[in-house]
Structure 1
């Protein structure tokens, strides 16, 4: 029957259509046959593509010329973010994800690093490297998954998922590989950081600011190459004891949290040069911080500090000290022992005096003591030589305040220009900072708090030879400066 039908159709096609002698009929027949063949070919190609979607992804990769323009299986739209003007900031040439549609990320097999790990594999391995197929939901049953090479993953070094409104990290992003050097998850709604982040051994910059994170995982201690860590504007109450292994860390920002202390291992951050602690719940500067010999910037503003430790003077490389709005009543004398100090910001506190020693900090360029309780400045402070000097919002004395000015203006003491024996003993004892106050005689213990520093020679003394208040013009007003001298010789030299 089939052979009969075939012969019948062949006769009809040959005699009545293609070779009928009618040119129009033949043309139409050829067009229909060509369209039918073309449709059949496209149908076969489409079926092949559905059966092998991997080829489509590989073709998409080859079209990408940028090393940062591809992150597989994110279901996201992304573009390269390049600043319009040259900057030296932290966010140059990053992958910018505009919308995130799913959380699955393809990562290399943790065992061979040659193939992609199969989805849902609990061991994050490929089909050939699964540690225990019997315990793996996807590998314990026969599957037709093919091993897919992950050569394209080696080119991705920086990922930016900031401002994507995500509430959790993309699944398995911690297994992305050691080639990832920057991860930005800032300005989202993250409540926690997955422990798998510790697998990113090559990570150098990690940004988590402006989230809702309460605790940091202990696995962050595995990021031995980390140089910048920013977790500001979160809900962190304490820091994990992970800092012993983070010896490469240079920049640490934990500001705008609820932290009241730091672990002992912080003192091992021997390369740390920037520490931001503002807007927390510190009541004092921990002594561990004063052991960071490479520290250059310390910001502890907007904390309620009781005092500043004397050990702060051991920070020989400290360049910036910011402690505004800390409710400080006395100027930290230890700052005067930091030879590299260039910037001091103690605005909005309760300072009544600025010590004479501040004027002898040789590299000081910026001073902000605005909004305090200062009535005068020390004569050693040359405010006109500073690049930035803000002394506004202080109740400075004026020439019209006769009674207060006369109270600060005193003549030579009655015993003449030769100091008393008690004065000489006092100067000898308190001239250094190594003395133990409890071992001193009671009469000296009671008078140590009254010690002064000569504005001329810098000697520590007790009884004034002479003090005087004089006014100098600064900006559009006159500022009072107090000089205090220890001897007649200093009075002559001044």
Structure 2
């Protein structure tokens, strides 16, 4: 979106639709005076569709704001707002950005269904909300909802009512669980749940067939639902700083193999011929359970003893995932074969190994 600044209403500036009063260190009274001048003296308030007020010292919005009858975008970010008045209902807003203020649930409007009910973006990130504002669920036209950096502990089960939602950002809160109803937001393209207290995801997440970005870092996830591999449009996944990843890194078995395993490995490595009846049936069955080392340069096998090696692999150049591999020896961990193996692995199959493993 391209912003323009309009200082007058003459014929040369009729296409300039933005009133930019950002970064002026304005107090509430000073803002009121400036807006009144536009309305009364210039008499061109209806020409403005965008008002930028970010990075000021505003504590509340003056009533004059409702004189801008064609106002579509209002940005009051990084101020000192303690209340968001109902007077905005007179404006045909499509985007309200009020991030990084001092707003609480009690200081929000009782309803966000403005006069023409066309709001598509609502940003209340970085405020002091203690719970999910239920009145937001009334905005049927909402596409982008940002509520990160608050103190929200629960996502309402009725979240499915926001059927047009494309971005849902709830990072940096105190959320412990995700309701199954999130899976009904089938138009969702980005879901941000990072930096919360989430221990598991509902399997219904797999129904978000248009999801492109899923941010889950800094949570308490120990597992992921296996159905998540159905997210064919997913190009960004963040899992760092979860027990899921930490467990992968720490779970490496380096115990010495038993004499039985060493004997079995020797037989397989040197291709010693064993005929039925030469050894007990149980040992024949044991030899048949040999698994090959994933290192293509190694001809070794393993039985019960293995080295669990974790590689963090770039997936589509977007994110890194922990890939669990089984090796016959710790000597097989390091080698140039790893990079070639990454290139040869089809991406969907790589995802399946990680998420199901």
Query: Would the alpha carbon gap of residues 480 and 314 (structure 1) be closer, same or farther in structure 2, given more than 3 Å must change?
Result: closer
Q: Does 1:207 align with 2:97?
A: yes
TM-score, normalising length from structure 2? 0.65
Rounded Cα–Cα distance in structure 1 between residues aligned with 2:49 and 2:104: 28
Alignment of 1:270-349 (within 5 A): 270-349=163-242
Query: Which one scores higher on RCO, CA 8 angstroms, separation ≥ 6?
Result: 2
Aligned residue in 1 for 2:354: none
Q: How far did residue 239 of structure 1 move?
A: 2.9
CA RMSD of aligned residues (A): 4.1
CA distance in 2, matches of 1:160, 1:214: 22
Shift of 1:397: 3.5
Describe the shift of the 1:405–1:323 C-alpha distance in structure 2 as closer, same or farther (beyond 3 A).
farther
Alpha-carbon distance between aligned partners in 2 of 1:165 and 1:405, rounded to the nearest angstrom: 72
Partner of 2:13: 66
Conserved in 1, the CA contact under 8 Å of 2:181 and 2:204?
A: no
CA contact (8 A) 2:157 2:179 kept: no
> Against the structure 1 CA distance between its residues 404 and 181, is the aligned structure 2 distance closer, same or farther, given a 3 Å change threshold?
farther
CA distance in structure 2 between the partners assigned to 1:480 and 1:204 by the alignment = 47
1:225 maps to 2:154: no
Indicate which of 10, 21, 25 corresponds to 1:96.
Answer: 21
What is the alpha-carbon distance in structure 1 between the residues aligned to residue 261 and residue 113 of structure 2?
57
Corresponding position of 2:326: 482
Point out where structure 2 has 5 or more consecutive residues left out of the alignment: 1-6, 266-280, 287-302, 314-322, 328-357
Kept in 1, the 8 Å contact 2:168–2:192? The answer is yes
Residue in 2 aligned with 1:492? none
1:239 match: secondary structure: coil
TM-score, normalisation: structure 1: 0.48
Structure 2 residue aligned with 1:196: 87
Superimposed CA distance per residue, residues 182-221 of structure 1 (whole angstroms, 9 cap, x where no aligned partner): 0000000001100111221x21111100100002212212
Displacement of 1:64 in angstroms is 7.7
Q: CA deviation at 1:249?
A: 1.4
Q: Deviations over 1:293-319 (max 9, x none)?
A: 011111111111132111111111111
Deviations 1:312-357 (A, max 9, x none): 1111111111111111122332322322222221111111xxxxxx
Aligned counterpart, 2:54: 162
Give the whole-Å Cα distance in 2 for the aligned partners of 1:172 and 1:267.
36
Q: Is the CA contact 2:84–2:103 (under 8 Å) kept in the aligned structure 1?
A: yes
State the structure with more CA Rg.
Answer: 1
**Cα separation, 2, equivalents of 1:240 and 1:103:** 28
What is the correspondence of 1:400-439 to structure 2 with a 5 Å cutoff?
401-403=254-256
Name stretches of at least 5 consecutive residues in structure 1 with no aligned partner: 1-59, 71-92, 109-115, 117-147, 352-368, 375-393, 418-464, 484-494
Cα distance in 1 for residues equivalent to 2:173 and 2:218: 12
Query: Contact (CA 8 Å) 1:259, 1:282: kept in 2 or not?
Result: yes
Contact 1:67–1:155 (CA under 8 A) maintained in structure 2 = yes
What is the SS of the residue equivalent to 2:111? helix
3-state DSSP class of the match of 2:243? coil
What is the total number of aligned residue pairs between the two structures?
Answer: 274
1:61 to 1:286, Cα distance in 2 relative to 1, 3 A: same
Q: Residues 397 and 480 of structure 1 are in contact (CA less than 8 Å); yes or no, is this contact kept in structure 2?
A: no
2:247 aligned residue: 373
CA distance in 2, matches of 1:472, 1:241: 43
Alpha-carbon distance change, 474 to 341 in structure 1, aligned in 2, over 3 angstroms: closer
